[in-house]
A = this chain, B = another copy of it.
């Protein structure tokens, strides 16, 4: 099972790196920019999580496989992709949702292993899932999509609550992880296929 989690983590890293590389391509960045955006999207969330928890050196310093995977992914995207549409279709969003689910559970689990309370674990899981994409958007000079669109971060929060809740109900770690991953994934897929968003909190500046 640990192997499954690790392989899922690597898979999520590649998917997130692709989404970063595509964002770089849309802004006509040079190869270094593509590499930076791929890397930031893929490991940005986990890096900040580790810095906040004091889990330094952060995870990709000791396991260089992440950096190699991101570099190869960025290179392959630059060489092969000419039409981004193919990669932003439905199946890519499903892969992205799977990555989101894995990252969330791994983040929550790492926080707990550092002795954090459940609410912090939920936060750290969500941060691991969404912060990379958020930094990517800031670098692309956009108001981060995740702050105002669809059920994205919400899926992470629910996944984190399911995970910590299941553990506190004395479920074994592996089933708790699976349950939380399935929960995050299903909720995110619902968001994708039905274009569901939470209602926005809109303040009217022109109100009297």
**Which residue numbers of A lie inside 8 Å of B, CB to CB?**
21-22, 24-34, 36-37, 47, 51-54, 56-58, 60-61, 64, 67-68, 77-78, 81-85, 111, 114, 116-117, 119-120, 123, 134, 138-144, 146-149, 152-154, 157, 197-205, 207-208
Contact = CB atoms under 8 A, between A and B. Distances in A.
Contact of A143 (B111, B140, B143): B140
A49 to B, nearest CB: 11
Contacts of A53: 56-57, 61
Contact of A203 (B26, B64, B114, B199): B26
A201 B61 contact: no
A68 B141 CA distance: 31
Contacts of A116: 57, 61
A67 B137 CA distance: 25
Given A28-B202, A53-B56, A57-B114, 15 more contacts: A22-B203, A24-B147, A27-B147, A28-B201, A29-B200, A30-B200, A31-B201, A32-B146, A33-B201, A54-B54, A61-B114, A134-B139, A138-B138, A141-B141, A141-B143
Contact of A198 (B31, B47, B68, B203): B31
Contacts of A208: 83
A204 to B, nearest CB: 8
Contacts of A34: 201
A35 B199 CA distance: 14
B144 A139 contact: yes
A67 to B, nearest CB: 6
B52 A56 contact: yes
A10 to B, nearest CB: 16
Nearest to A23: B203
A91 B60 CA distance: 38
A84 to B, nearest CB: 5
B82 A201 contact: no
